[in-house]
Structure 1
Amino acid sequence: MTSTFDPRQYKITTRAQWEDAAEAWHRWGQVIEDWLGQATRQMLDAAGLTAGSRVLDVAAGAGGQSLAAARRVGPTGSVLATDISPAILEYAAKAATDAGLANLTTRELDGEHLDVDDGGFDAVISRVGLIYFPDQQAALAGMRAALRPGGRLSAVVYSTADRNGFFAIPVGIIRRRAQLPPPAPGQPGPFSLGTPGVAEQILATAGFRDIAVEAVASPLRMGSAADCVRFERESFGALHQMLSSLTEPDRQAAWAEIAQALAQFEGPDGFVGPCEMLVISATR
Structure 2
Amino acid sequence: MNVFDPVRYKETTCQQWQSAAKAWNDWSPLLRRWLGPATEILIEMSQIGPGSRVLIVAAGAGDETLQIAERVGPTGYVLATDISSNILDHAAENARRAGFTHVEARVMDGENLEVPEASFDAVISRVGLIYFPDQQKALAGMRRALRVGGRIGAIVYGTAENNRFFSVPVSIIRRRANLPPPLPGQPGPFSLGGPGILTDEIRRAGFHDVEALLVAAPVCTPNAADCVRFERESFGALHQMLSGLDDAGREEAWQEIEQALRAFDTASGFEGPCEMVVACGTK
Other-structure match for 2:265: 266
Identity, in percent, stands at 58
Partner of 2:247: 248
Q: Which residue is 1:159 aligned to? A: 158
Q: What SS does structure 2 have at the residue aligned with 1:258?
A: helix
Is 1:89–1:108's contact at 8 Å kept on the other side of the alignment? Answer: yes
Mapped partners of 1:112, 1:222: distance in 2: 34
Q: TM-score, structure 1 length as denominator?
A: 0.98
Corresponding position: 1:56 with 2:55? yes
- Tell me how far apart the structure 2 counterparts of residues 125 and 36 of structure 1 sit (CA, whole Å): 14
RMSD: 0.9
1: CA distance, partners of 2:174 / 2:205:
31
Gaps of 5+ in 1: none
Matched, 1:7 2:33: no
Counterpart Cα distance in 2 of 1:180 and 1:148: 43
Q: Distance in 1 between matches of 2:17 and 2:242?
A: 15
DSSP 3-state at the match of 1:221: strand
Kindly provide the CA deviation profile for residues 56-91 of structure 1, in whole angstroms up to 9, marking residues without a partner as x: 000000010011111100111000000000000000
Aligned to 1:40: 39
What secondary structure sits across from 1:161 in the alignment? coil
Q: How does 1:224-243 map to 2 (within 5 A)?
A: 224-243=223-242
Superposed CA deviations along residues 132-183 of structure 1, whole A, max 9, x for unmatched, are: 0011011001000000011000011000000011000001011111122221
Q: Tell which deviates more after alignment, 217-226 or 197-206.
A: 197-206
Distance 1:38 1:144 in 2: 25
Report whether the alignment pairs 1:86 with 2:106. no
Give the partner amino acid of 1:217: A
Cα distance between partner residues in 1 of 2:239 and 2:132: 17
Counterpart for residue 220 of structure 2 = 221
What is residue 20 of structure 2 aligned with on the other side?
21
In structure 2, C-alpha distance between the alignment counterparts of 1:3 and 1:132, rounded to whole Å: 19
Deviation at 1:184, TM superposition (A): 2.5
Determine the C-alpha separation between the residues in 1 that align with 2:16 and 2:54: 26
**Secondary structure of the structure 1 residue equivalent to 2:260:** helix
CA displacement at 1:50 relative to structure 2: 1.0
Instruction: Please name the residue that 1:77 is paired with.
Output: 76
Contact between 2:4 and 2:183, CA under 8 Å: does it hold in 1?
no
Moved over 3 A (4+): none
Distance 2:25 2:157 in 1: 20
Partner of 1:128: 127
Provide the secondary structure at the position in 2 that maps to 1:163.
coil
Secondary structure of 2:161's match?
Answer: helix
Q: Displacement of 1:114 after TM fit?
A: 0.4
SS of corresponding position for 1:241: helix
Give the stretch that moved more between structures: 252-261 or 173-182: 173-182
Distance in structure 1 (CA, Å) of the matches to 2:152 and 2:112: 17
